[in-house]
Amino acid sequence: MIDIKKEQQNNYLQISVEGEADASSAINLDKAIREAFDEGHQTILIDCTNLNYISSAGLGVFMSYIEEISSNSINFILFGLSEKVLKVFGILGLDQLLNIKESKEEALQALNGI
């Protein structure tokens, strides 16, 4: 089960992902991110604080946006990943391609630093 909430802040869109991103729920995650991209958001923060588990299908969703992020120069930042989830990103090597921050403060700092 996955629960996705979208929240428009002053200068960024925050997508909160809660629960488990597995083969069946990854479609919902993909839909939410796709919408955000299509709406033309330049700054997107993904809150993974309550993401308990991510399967390869869930990783595949994030992976599929890597090229779009770099070609459209979108600020796409993930934060609040649990140790377990972060480890999965690390093994696959996705941590080298995605902007991952420890907390929301760090994510916002990184935004302001630009």
Partner 1 sequence: MSISFKLTPKFYMRLSMVLALLIWLIVSLIDVLQLLAVRSGVDLGISREIPILLYDFFYVFIIIYYRLRIKEEDGGNFVDLLWRVFATGLVTTIISLGFKLFYSSIGDSALGQNEFLRIFTHGVNTAVISIFLISTFTVWKKLILYQKSRRLVVYWNAFEALVIASIFFNITGFTLRESLVFQIVFILMAIMAIVLSGNLKWVAYLNFKQKWKAILLIVLITIYVFYFFAELYVPPSESAAWLNSIDNLFIITLFTFLLFYSVFSLLVILFNLPTSSVFERKMEEAINFQRLSQSIQTGETEEQIFDILLTSSMNAVYADAGWIEVSNEETSTQFINRNISRESINKIKEQIFSSRSRTVMKNPLSNSNSETDRVLVTLKRSNFKSVFVVPLTVQNKVSGFMYLLNEVSDGFNKEMINIINTFASQASVSIENFKLMGEAISNERYKEELDIAKRVQRALLPEVLDHDESFSIHAFTIAAAEVGGDYYDTFKLSDHKFAIVIGDVSGKGTSAAFHMSQMKGIFQSLAQMDLPADEFLFRANKALSQCLERTSFITLTYFILDTKSKKLEFSRAGHCPTLYYDKSKKAAEYFQNKGLGLGILRNDGFRKFIHVNELEFEKDDILVLYTDGISEATNAKGEEFGFDRMKTLLEKNAHYDPVMIQKIFISKLYEFCGTKDLNDDYTMVVIKFD
Task: State which of residues 7, 67, 102, 105 lies at the interface with partner 1 (CB under 8 A).
Answer: 67
**Torsion sign, CA atoms 20, 92, 23, 32:** positive
Cα separation, 37 vs 42, in Å, equals 8
Q: Does 86 bind partner 1 (CB under 8 A)?
A: no
Task: Tell which residue, 51, 54, 53, 45, has the closest CA to residue 112.
Answer: 45
Least spacing, CB of residue 32 vs partner 1, in Å: 14
Q: Taking contact as CB under 8 A, which single stretch among the options 42-50, 63-71, 72-80, 103-111 is the one that binds partner 1?
A: 63-71
Residues that bind partner 1 (CB under 8 A): 23, 26, 30, 56-57, 59-61, 63-64, 66-67, 84, 88, 91-94, 96-97
